[in-house]
Amino acid sequence: MSALGSAPAPPVRTLFITGASSGIGQALAEYYAARGAQLGLCARRAEALEQLAARWPGQVHCYPLDVTDAAALRAAGDDFMARLGVPDIVVANAGISMGTLSEHAEDLDAIRRVMDTNFFGMAATFSPFIGSMRRAGHGRLVGVASVAGIRGLPGSEAYSASKAAVITYLESLRVELRPSGIKVVTLCPGYIRTPMTAANPFPMPFLMSADAAAARFARAIDQGRSYVVVPWQMGIVARVLRLLPNAVYDRLMVGAPRKPRQASGE
């Protein structure tokens, strides 16, 4: 029994997180690890994952892989569930951002890579777990989208398109899985201080640290919220942008700063 006046300790949970080697994914991993969770962490950079495992011995299982490799994700998911059972939370966070312009033929490969990583990689992340979560009757699938997916940003054709696809995909999945007891959570970051945003050569309003964002996202995940924008100020901006007529939006955005072509991060 807990001491008088103290809250009961939260249950130890299991999470599977992609893109865990830096940025929001790493911050979420550290947030939950500090609270005793068991973690399956995926990223391309094995060394970064091993550093997290060293910080949290016995809590971290490392899966170095690229999320565009569906077979590797399936194997990692199966291994994680064989060790720890059906995860309570799966976070599809892996993503890349590149400035792209369709007029340049050499950018087409970059456009495909962004879509494969940000959209297909999310579906490939969730796929190994949905059947087991259905049978268990619970679980949370968490997808990291972006405010950039609300309206198309100049110079970010691939990134905005991929995040718009993610937002709609998560909505479809949420409705599809509602009767099963599985909750689907859409996280829409604004500007978060990560290696990805470090490449942006322009002011970033309401810039927030990854640790602060992770704490807010974790609260939304725990509450099972369907959609959340962090920081909240960007949520207001997103609502306004969504409501603007095309003619007004186009005039406002035509001179907006652009991400440099081929600048990328995870």
- The rounded radius of gyration (Å) of the Cα atoms in the chain is 19
- The β-bridge partners of 41 are 17, 62
- In one-letter notation, the amino acid at residue 96 is I
Which residues have a catalytic role annotated? 159
d(CA 187, CA 175): 16
Contact 186, 228 (CB under 8 A): yes
Asked if 84 and 14 touch (Cβ cutoff 8 Å), the reply is yes
* Cβ pair 43, 64 in contact under 8 A: yes
Q: How far is CA 108 from CA 100, 196, 199, in A?
A: 8, 20, 20
- Cα angle 203-115-130, degrees, rounded to a multiple of 5: 110
CA distance 172 to 123: 12
- The one-letter amino acid code at 228 reads V
What is the rounded CA–CA span in Å between residue 211 and residue 190? 14
